[in-house]
Chains A and B, each alone.
Chain A
Amino acid sequence: MGMNMSEKILARHAGLDKVEPGQIVVCPLDLVMANDITGPPAIKEFEKIGKPVFDPEKIALIPDHFQPAKDIKSADLAKSLREFSRKNKIKHYYEAGRVGIEHVILPEFGIVAPGMLTIGADSHTCTYGALNGFSTGVGTTDLAVGMATGKSWFKVPEVVNVHLTGKKPADINGKDVILTLIGKIGVDGALYKSLEFSGEGVKELTMTDRFTVSNMAIEAGGKAGIFPFDEVTKKYVDEHVKKNYEPVAPDADAKYCMTVEINLSDLKPVVAFPHLPENVKKVEDIGEIKIDQVVIGSCTNGRFEDLQIAAEIFKNRKVNPNVRCIIVPGSQAIYKAAMHAGLIDIFIDAECVVSTPTCGPCMGGYMGILSAGERCVSTTNRNFVGRMGHVDSEIYLAGPHVAAASAVLGKIATPSEVK
């Protein structure tokens, strides 16, 4: 019996010819990542171990959540990350003005590459599966031990094969693909498992689509969400990664615990209703739902292509007078590219707020907190109770196309409704 991509990456790192689901393996890590929320407690735990960092080149500490600091406690968190990084000569630490959202900049800076094994103290670390790596979210203690030993323990997961076919229609993007999948299998559909994507439909997805899809593997409970390596990946990697890397491909007889079929040509723009990402409905079926706020950004949909999709809709239009629309580019490079492409002008002319790169409103941190009873259409990844503010506020998850159309019309809408 052959191996799937998850098994191959774990086996290779564990120094084994073969691994099987359920087996516990200890693996050397290629990268250990944390942010300004999870890093400081990990540093405290790390200090209890009393060892030096295993390799300052293989650690990334990214101040993106509450930064630039929203209050004194957040400033203290950032300081702890900064001081630790300087003292230990951490290579991938970036100050405000150079930083962006962790899962956007790690691929952009070429820090993550195909075949790599990464842990991050952030649940959306699964994003790098888009680049054919095995990367997964862990907590503070795993992170501390990872920084000290360069290793972590893994239970080899079972794998759900997501088989993509058909052609992607013009009004569909990665968010529709992943929300449709989560709608089908549920928020625990891939619990303790990896998602691996296969089929002719994979090549229909741009790198931006793939980042969005892998990013939300965790919203189906998944440990990882891995794409095969193809020309699309290679082009991205050639432009960003300077180091050697070794992609993986699944064996023809690899084992999967389940196969889910998605025909891309059948997809329609969708939205996930509060308060779970599995409450997915086609936008055309939902009737009139008025909204107060729109957020376009985050590690899910804060990339250049996402902003382009939104700008196409905002061009020569205005945000509805009853709505505020907050746009947060995922990185400085994206911000600049958007500026040069004229997108920032389009957003400001449409009367959107444009922010510096940060997690900001996505996890209810700052800049776009919702009041009781308010409704927000957001391109982020979670619509749990209270995620963006008051427990009685509501979050509707959608792609940048639906978010922008909704901002213009003041209600949840498909791009085709904006005339």
Chain B
Amino acid sequence: MKVEGKVWRYVDTDVIIPARYLNTFDPKELAKHCMEDIDKNFSSEVKAGDIMVGGKNFGCGSSREHAPVAIKASGVPVVIAAGFARIFYRNGINIGLPLLEIGDDVEKIHAGDILEIDTAAGTIKNKTTGDTFKSQPLPDFVQDIAKTGGLINYIKEYGDFKN
């Protein structure tokens, strides 16, 4: 998947979706409150195709899949971070939201930069600064999940885990 979009930059966070909204699982409803505790403007100003960039341990804390769902429903096609919290990472993969880890290089991306990303190859070009970055390629098993569009589709397609 190739995408190009404007960057929303955050540091480490657990406030992707505050707990007070967890009594719904409607993606559109969740998107309305995405990031609101640290950035009131996010949900009204984010555009489909915009890219979220985070620091280390991004998405730490709760296992709430509401968090990547809220991000995906905001129109964000990919999240880049220095590193992701484990459950958030798994959930992202499972719902088909590509997550790219680039370590300290994340410091070279700023709010408002325009990025061009090839998620399959793991390459990121910062069109504003001219820098390019590479993330770790995803393991084959994880790529299979991504190709089918998430774990539910994967299981529907293969009936079970392949191995």
Binding site for B on A (CB under 8 A): 24, 26, 37-38, 40-41, 44-45, 48-50, 66, 71, 73-74, 77, 120-123, 125, 137-142, 144-145, 148-149, 151, 153, 155, 187-188, 191-192, 218, 221, 223, 363-365, 382, 384-387, 391
- Asked if residues B19 and A221 are in contact (CB atoms below 8 Å), the reply is no
Q: A41-B65, A221-B86 are in contact. Are A141 and B152 (CB under 8 A)?
A: yes
- The size bracket of the interface on B is 35 or more
Distance of B152 from chain A, by nearest CB (Å): 5
- Asked if residues A145 and B20 are in contact (CB atoms below 8 Å), the reply is no
Question: B85 to chain A: which residues have CB within 8 Å?
Answer: 188, 191, 221
Of residues 96 through 117 on chain B, the ones whose CB sits less than 8 Å from some CB of chain A are none
- Asked if residues B19 and A387 are in contact (CB atoms below 8 Å), the reply is yes
Q: A139-B87, A139-B90, A145-B152 are in contact. Are A364 and B65 (CB under 8 A)?
A: no
Question: A120 to chain B: which residues have CB within 8 Å?
Answer: 63
Of residues 25 through 68 on chain B, the ones whose CB sits less than 8 Å from some CB of chain A are 25, 37-38, 56-57, 60-66, 68
- Asked if residues B22 and A37 are in contact (CB atoms below 8 Å), the reply is yes
User: CA separation between A66 and B24, bound complex, in Å?
Assistant: 12
Of residues 125 through 146 on chain B, the ones whose CB sits less than 8 Å from some CB of chain A are 139, 141-142
- Asked if residues B152 and A74 are in contact (CB atoms below 8 Å), the reply is no
Question: A71 to chain B: which residues have CB within 8 Å?
Answer: 23
Q: Tell me the interface secondary structure of chain B in the complex.
A: loop
One of A40, A66, A188 near B83 (C-beta < 8 A): A188
User: CA separation between A73 and B57, bound complex, in Å?
Assistant: 31
- Asked if residues B161 and A141 are in contact (CB atoms below 8 Å), the reply is no
Cβ of B4 within 8 Å of any chain A Cβ, yes or no, is no
Distance of A62 from chain B, by nearest CB (Å): 14
Cβ of B73 within 8 Å of any chain A Cβ, yes or no, is no
User: CA separation between A363 and B85, bound complex, in Å?
Assistant: 19
Contact sample, A vs B, 14 pairs, CB 8 Å cutoff: A26-B163, A41-B25, A41-B65, A77-B23, A121-B65, A137-B87, A141-B95, A141-B152, A145-B155, A149-B161, A187-B57, A188-B85, A384-B14, A386-B37
Q: In the complex, which residue of chain A has the Cβ closest to the Cβ of B145?
A: A153
